[in-house]
C-alpha cells in the first residue's frame, strides 16, 4: 500500500481469496470511474468512490483489518482469534499440521488415557508384540497366545485376525457395525472406524469407547496370558468391555441412548457382577470466581540426572491466560523442592504484576 505499489484495488486478491470486484453489482461497476486504481490510491482519500463502494457492498470483515481511526491508541492484537485476544488454544491450533485432525478422535474427556495411548501406538506400529520386536532386529521365536494353533504374533493378528479377536468382534458386530476381516492395515482400520461419519453423536461416543476398550482388553488379556499363564477368553474380554461402557455411560450421564445400546447395557448390569472395573472420574480445571485469578504451578525432579524444573500459568475467570512461566532449577535433591520453587516463582510473578490475592492450585499434597 505504499506509493510504489501497483497492486489493483479491484482486480488483485489482497483481502482474502477473491478480488473485491466480484462483490460489486454490474450496474454499479459499469459507472465506476478509474477501474484500474491501485490500493494506495483508493486509501489515499477516505471519501473516494472506490473505498465507499467497497464498504457498501463487500463483507465488512475483508476491509476491517486495513481501516483505522485516529481517536484511539494503537495496540497489539492477536490475529489468530476473532476477538483479537491471545489464547493458548489458538497457538495450539496454529502449530498443528493438517494431518493432525485424524488424531482428535483418539482423545476425549470420557475416554481413559490408557486406551487412547494404546490406539495411538497401534497406528504408529509401536505396540511391542513379537512381530514389532523382530522388525527392530531382535531375533526371537514368536508364538501367539490367542489361538489354539499358535501363529506368529503381529498387531494385525492379535487384535483383528486371531481366534479370540474374531469371536469378540463377531459378538459385537451388530452393535458396532464393524467387520474385523475388512481391516487390511492396523493404522487405517483404527482411524477409519474412529472417524466414521454416519453415527449419531451418542452412538458415535459409545461405539468409539467400545471399540477402544475392546482393543485395550485384548491387549491386557494377551499380557495376562503371556506373563501369568492365564488363557485368553473372548467372553471375559466382552464382559469387561461392556462393564467399562456401563461405568462410562453412568459417570458421564449419556442421554438419549439408542435402544440397542440400552438393551445390551441392561443385560450387562444384570449379569456377572463379580468382574470389577474402575469407574472413570471426571477431572476438570475449574475457573476462579469473577474478578479473581488462579495460579496453577507444577515442579518436576529427575533423580537419575539431577535435572529439575518448574512452571505455572495464571488465568482469569474466563480461562484466558494472563501470564505463564517455565524455569530450570539446579542443585536440587527432591521433587518437593522443585514444587516449592515453582510456587515461589509463581507468587513472585503475581506480586510483580500487582496481584495481591490469587487462588493457587498444585498437585503436590506435601507442598499444600
pLDDT digit string, tens, across residues 93-150: 788 765 565 677 788 777 888 999 999 999 889 999 999 999 888 988 888 999 989 8
Calculate mean pLDDT across residues 227-237: 91
Half-sphere exposure of 175 (CA within 13 A, CB side): 25
Note the pTM of the prediction, 2 decimals.
Answer: 0.54
DSSP, res 321: E
Are residue 144 and residue 241 in the same domain, yes or no? yes
Report yes or no on 287 lying in a domain. Answer: no
Higher-confidence residue of 198 and 318: namely 318
Return d(Cα 270, Cα 354) in angstroms, integer: 59
Report yes or no on 274 lying in a domain. Answer: no
Return d(Cα 152, Cα 150) in angstroms, integer: 7
According to DSSP, the β-strands at 321-329 and 307-315 are antiparallel
Are residue 7 and residue 128 in the same domain, yes or no? no
Q: Is 305 in contact with 292 (CB distance < 8 Å)?
A: no
Nearest to 111 by CA among 216, 31, 227: 216
Are residue 6 and residue 110 in the same domain, yes or no? no
Nearest to 239 by CA among 260, 210, 206: 210
User: Strand 359-361's sheet: what is its strand order?
Assistant: 321-329, 307-315, 294-302, 359-361
Place of cell 461402557: 245
Report yes or no on 183 lying in a domain. Answer: yes
Are residue 134 and residue 254 in the same domain, yes or no? yes
Of 68, 94, 117, which marks where a domain is finished? Answer: 68
Are residue 256 and residue 137 in the same domain, yes or no? yes
What SS3 state is found at 88? helix
- Please tell me the least confidently modeled range out of 39-48, 160-169, 184-193: 39-48
Q: Which secondary structure element, helix H or strand E, spans residue 206, and what is its range?
A: helix 201-228
State the total domains in the chain: 3
Report yes or no on 318 lying in a domain. Answer: yes
Are residue 117 and residue 191 in the same domain, yes or no? yes
- For the chain, give the mean pLDDT: 84
Q: Is the pLDDT of residue 251 over 70?
A: no
Report yes or no on 283 lying in a domain. Answer: no
Are residue 137 and residue 189 in the same domain, yes or no? yes
Q: Range of 337's domain?
A: 294-361
Q: Is the pLDDT of residue 13 over 60?
A: yes
Q: Is 225 in contact with 249 (CB distance < 8 Å)?
A: no
Distance of CA 76 to the CA centre of its chain: 29
Are residue 261 and residue 114 in the same domain, yes or no? yes
Calculate mean pLDDT across residues 41-49: 81
Q: Is the pLDDT of residue 277 over 90?
A: no
Q: Is the pLDDT of residue 274 over 80?
A: no
Residue 45, by phi and psi: left (phi above 0), alpha (psi -120 to 50) or beta?
Answer: beta
Are residue 112 and residue 260 in the same domain, yes or no? yes
Cell numbers placing 282: 471426571
Are residue 111 and residue 58 in the same domain, yes or no? no
Are residue 58 and residue 116 in the same domain, yes or no? no
CATH code where residue 318 lies? 3.30.420.10
Report yes or no on 82 lying in a domain. Answer: no
Are residue 177 and residue 310 in the same domain, yes or no? no
Return d(Cα 345, Cα 51) in angstroms, integer: 52
Amino acid at each position: 500500500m505504499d506509493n510504489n505499489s501497483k497492486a489493483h484495488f479491484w482486480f488483485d486478491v489482497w483481502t482474502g481469496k477473491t478480488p473485491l470486484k466480484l462483490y460489486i453489482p454490474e450496474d454499479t461497476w459499469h459507472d465506476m470511474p478509474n477501474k484500474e486504481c491501485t490500493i494506495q490510491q483508493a486509501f489515499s482519500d477516505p471519501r473516494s468512490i472506490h473505498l465507499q463502494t467497497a464498504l457498501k457492498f463487500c463483507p465488512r470483515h475483508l476491509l476491517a483489518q486495513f481501516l483505522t481511526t485516529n481517536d484511539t491508541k494503537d495496540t497489539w492484537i492477536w490475529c489468530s482469534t476473532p476477538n483479537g485476544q491471545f489464547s493458548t488454544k489458538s497457538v495450539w491450533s496454529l502449530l498443528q499440521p493438517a494431518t493432525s485432525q485424524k488424531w482428535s478422535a483418539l482423545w476425549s474427556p470420557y475416554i481413559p488415557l490408557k486406551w487412547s495411548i494404546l490406539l495411538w501406538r497401534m497406528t504408529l506400529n509401536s505396540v511391542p508384540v513379537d512381530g514389532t520386536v523382530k522388525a527392530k532386529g531382535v531375533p526371537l521365536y514368536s508364538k501367539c497366545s490367542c489361538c489354539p494353533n499358535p501363529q506368529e504374533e503381529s498387531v494385525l493378528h492379535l487384535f483383528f485376525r486371531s481366534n479370540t479377536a474374531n469371536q469378540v468382534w463377531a459378538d459385537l458386530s451388530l452393535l458396532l457395525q464393524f467387520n474385523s476381516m475388512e481391516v487390511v492395515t492396523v493404522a487405517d482400520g483404527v482411524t477409519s472406524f474412529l472417524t466414521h461419519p454416519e453415527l449419531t453423536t451418542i452412538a458415535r461416543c459409545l461405539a468409539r469407547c467400545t471399540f477402544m476398550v475392546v482393543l485395550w482388553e485384548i491387549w491386557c488379556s494377551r499380557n495376562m496370558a503371556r506373563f501369568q499363564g492365564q488363557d485368553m477368553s473372548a467372553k471375559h474380554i466382552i464382559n469387561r468391555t461392556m462393564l467399562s461402557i456401563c461405568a462410562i455411560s453412568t459417570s458421564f450421564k449419556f442421554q438419549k441412548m439408542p435402544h440397542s445400546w440400552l438393551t445390551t447395557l441392561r443385560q450387562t448390569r444384570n449379569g456377572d457382577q463379580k468382574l470389577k472395573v474402575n469407574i472413570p472420574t471426571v477431572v476438570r480445571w475449574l475457573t476462579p470466581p469473577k474478578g479473581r485469578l488462579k495460579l496453577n504451578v507444577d515442579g518436576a525432579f529427575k533423580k537419575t540426572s539431577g535435572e529439575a524444573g518448574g512452571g505455572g500459568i495464571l488465568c482469569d475467570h474466563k480461562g484466558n491466560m494472563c501470564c505463564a512461566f517455565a524455569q530450570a532449577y539446579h542443585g536440587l535433591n527432591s521433587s518437593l523442592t522443585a514444587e516449592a520453587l515453582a510456587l515461589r516463582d509463581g507468587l513472585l510473578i503475581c506480586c510483580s504484576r500487582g496481584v495481591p490475592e490469587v487462588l493457587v492450585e498444585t498437585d503436590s499434597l506435601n507442598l499444600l
